[in-house]
Every structure is written in structure tokens, then in C-alpha cells.
């Protein structure tokens, strides 16, 4: 078993590769009670790969990844690795925003809670097939870096939840592309993230696109890699136009640029 990095930190993503002399089947990973789905790498019969997401609020410490599989001879293969999770280096920012977002009225609180619950239910579902095929890309043309991932926010003096995605400050109206192939599972306006699209890429991997000015995708539809989902805007809770891009891997909120680094290369 090989890990893309010997150490990890909050909000990071690891690629786990399992190589064997003979083809493996029934590969299952367990990471603290959460399953880690594996897929067979194209044209590499003896290699299985899995993505291990380290949630941005996972307590630092040492955790065991356990993988079991069957080999062609019917034998059971078991291997494990200890993975050290370090604290992430995240900035703390103090922000003044419109009062209605810090002190939402009871109706807005109810709406935001319902939407959070719906998103949680979406991210809990694991589509057993890998829907992506090929490299992951940054959703904006010609952009490779963003900011604010994991930032701890203090809104009008009140600590808020950590910023779970990457922000790309680009002019409103910039086309937003699907990072990879998948199925649109949400395409609508939400209280905090404004016009939002969520794509299921299979195997518990989801990308999230927020604050769009318009949506050109429909929930339930399959989507190809690179297809335009909408345009950037400033809908929802924002201080200016930007794309908020998020990645959830088996319920762990991770830095989306890491999937481009791991699965975006040749």
C-alpha cells in the first residue's frame, strides 16, 4: 500500500494505491469507521486506488487506515497504515457583513438549517460507481490558485463555522465549468451560498459551486467534464463576486485544489 504523502493535515486529500502481484477484488477501506471506496486504475489490473479525505476539523492525531481485499486465488489480503493528521494552518479573519446574515430571522434560520441538513444527506450518499473519467480541473479557465480554504471566520464579532471551500475572486459573469464528469444533484438558490450547483462524481466524491449569478444545470442530469454550470456572481452571503468551490470526499471537507494535484496530472 502506498500513500501519496506520508503525512497529512486537516483539509488534505490522500491518494491510496494498492498494488499486488495478482488482481485484487472486493477492496474495502476503513478510516475511523468511514468506508474508503476503491476503484481499479485504468489499464492497471493490479492497482486499486482510493481517495482519503481528512476533514478540515478532524482532531489532529494518529489514525489507522485498514484495507481488506480478495486476491485471485481467493486469499484474503489485509494491510494497514498509521496516518498522522496535523493541524492545518488556517487564517482567522474578522468580517463585517450584512446584519441579516449574522442575525438571521427565525424563518431564515429554519431555511438555512433545512438546507444544511439536505446537503449533509447528499454528501452521506455514496454512489458505488466512479462517474468521473480522467483528470479533475479547476472550474475556471486560466485560474490555478484560490484562497481562504479553512479560514476561521469571526462575523461581526461572532465565531462562525470554518470556510469549507476555496474562493476564486473573478469578475461576475465568468463561466464556471464542471471539474469532472458526474451527475448534478443540486442546482438551486440556497440561503448562504446563493445560486449553487453540486455534482456527484461517484464513490462519495462531490464538488460544490456557490454564489453563481445564473445556473445552467439541472438536478438529476448527467454532466460532462468541463461543461458550463453557470456564471460567477455574488448571490448569497458574499462581500463581492467570486466562485466558492468545495470538495467533499466521504463526508470530509477538503481543499478542492488537492484533487487537481492528485488526479489532474498525466
| Interacting residue ranges for Zn ion, rule: CB under 5 A | 165, 167, 244
Q: Which is nearer to Zn ion, 137 or 244 (CB)?
A: 244
Buried b (16+ CB within 10 A) or exposed e, 74-101: eeebeeebebebeebebeeeeeeeeeeb
Q: Is 108 helix (H, G, I), strand (E, B) or coil?
A: helix
Whose grid coordinates read 468506508?
Answer: 35
Least distance CB 167 / Zn ion (angstroms): 4
Q: Which is nearer to Zn ion, 37 or 246 (CB)?
A: 246
Residues 6+ apart with CB under 8 A from 63: 31, 32, 82, 83, 85
The whole-angstrom separation of Cα 259 and Cα 184 is 19
Q: Which is nearer to Zn ion, 181 or 242 (CB)?
A: 242
What backbone torsions phi and psi does residue 146 show, to the nearest 5 degrees? -135, -165
Least distance CB 248 / Zn ion (angstroms): 14
Least distance CB 144 / Zn ion (angstroms): 17
Least distance CB 210 / Zn ion (angstroms): 6
Q: Which is nearer to Zn ion, 162 or 202 (CB)?
A: 162
The residue nearest Zn ion at its CB is 244
Amino acid at each position: 500500500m502506498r500513500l501519496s504523502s506520508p503525512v497529512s493535515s486537516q483539509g488534505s486529500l490522500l491518494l491510496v494505491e494498492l498494488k499486488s502481484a495478482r488482481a485484487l477484488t472486493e477492496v474495502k477501506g476503513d478510516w475511523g469507521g468511514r468506508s474508503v471506496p476503491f476503484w481499479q486504475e485504468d489499464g492497471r489490473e493490479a492497482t486499486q486506488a482510493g481517495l482519503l479525505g481528512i476533514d478540515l476539523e478532524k482532531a489532529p492525531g494518529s489514525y489507522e487506515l485498514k484495507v481488506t481485499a480478495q486476491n485471485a486465488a481467493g486469499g484474503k489480503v489485509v494491510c494497514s497504515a498509521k496516518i498522522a493528521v496535523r493541524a492545518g494552518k488556517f487564517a482567522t479573519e474578522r468580517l463585517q457583513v450584512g446584519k441579516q446574515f449574522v442575525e438571521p430571522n427565525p424563518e431564515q434560520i429554519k431555511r438555512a438549517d433545512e438546507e444544511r441538513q439536505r446537503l449533509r444527506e447528499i454528501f452521506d450518499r455514496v454512489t458505488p460507481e466512479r462517474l468521473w473519467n480522467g483528470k479533475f480541473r479547476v472550474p475556471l479557465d486560466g485560474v490555478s490558485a484560490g484562497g481562504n480554504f479553512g479560514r476561521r471566520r469571526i462575523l461581526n464579532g461572532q465565531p462562525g463555522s470554518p470556510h469549507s471551500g476555496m474562493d476564486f475572486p473573478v469578475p461576475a459573469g465568468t463561466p464556471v465549468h464542471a471539474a469532472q464528469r458526474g451527475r448534478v444533484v443540486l442546482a438551486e438558490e440556497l440561503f448562504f451560498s446563493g445560486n449553487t450547483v453540486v455534482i456527484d462524481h461517484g464513490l462519495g466524491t462531490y464538488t460544490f459551486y456557490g454564489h453563481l449569478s445564473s445556473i445552467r444545470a439541472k438536478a438529476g442530469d448527467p454532466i460532462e467534464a468541463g461543461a458550463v454550470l453557470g456564471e460567477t456572481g455574488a448571490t448569497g452571503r458574499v462581500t463581492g463576486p467570486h466562485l466558492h468551490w468545495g470538495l467533499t470526499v466521504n463526508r470530509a471537507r477538503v481543499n478542492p485544489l488537492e484533487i487537481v494535484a492528485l488526479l489532474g496530472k498525466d
